[in-house]
Amino acid sequence: MQSDYNTHIKRIVLLLVVAAVLGFLAKKFATPTSFGKYGHYRADAIQDEVDRPLRHMTNESCLSCHPFEWELHEQGRHKTISCEFCHGTYADHVQDGKFAGRLPVKKGEEIKTLCLRCHNKAIKARPKDVIKTVEMPRHLEDQHVQVTHICNQCHHVHAPLIYINHAQKVLGIEEANNGKQ
């Protein structure tokens, strides 16, 4: 039996109506219940974020087990830098107050890479009076040391100027480091 001349059009219209109804039902049932409570977002998302386990802690959290490094760090120019910035995430090291894993220790060239993450002159957005930036290997040449030197051979990573100030004091050289280490 041949279809009517407009059967397909009727079916297209029916299809669009069904799609619209399904869309409406999907919107009705799939929209999260708390959506729109405070604004154009799912209100429960706030609680979901609050419930997320903490991954990062403060420097004070490291103090209880690492008082020596903490004390040195507090005196130096790096005192505002978070421990986790260089060492890794607290949660990878301690969970529920117990040792959970060893954080990777940077060695050799890795230390240089880590330092240059902030102290590279190529990063233009670093005002000189906030962070000293250097160009490698020019900085090593200027200081008359071998270009293979790693940063921590002269700078203590926690108090970058502590050795340098000490050496200057021994040699009787005065330089304005504002007493910082």
Residues that bind another protein (CB under 8 A): 2-9, 11-12, 15-16, 23, 26-27, 30-31, 35-36, 40, 123-125
**37 or 169: CB nearest another protein:** 37
**27 or 102: CB nearest another protein:** 27
Minimum Å gap between C-beta 44 and another protein is 13
The closest of 149, 127, 152 to 139, measured between CA atoms, is 149
**120 or 168: CB nearest another protein:** 120
Minimum Å gap between C-beta 2 and another protein is 6
Q: Using omega within 30 degrees of 0 as the cis cutoff, is the peptide bond preceding 137 cis?
A: yes
Minimum Å gap between C-beta 129 and another protein is 11
* 3-state SS, residue 55: coil
Q: Which residues pair with 95 in a beta bridge?
A: 98
Minimum Å gap between C-beta 5 and another protein is 4
Q: From the centroid of its chain, how far is CA 23?
A: 41
**32 or 67: CB nearest another protein:** 32
Looking at residue 9, the DSSP 8-state letter turns out to be H
Find the helix or strand (DSSP H, E) in which 162 lies.
Answer: helix 162-171
Give the CA-trace dihedral at 17, 23, 25, 28, to 10 degrees: -140
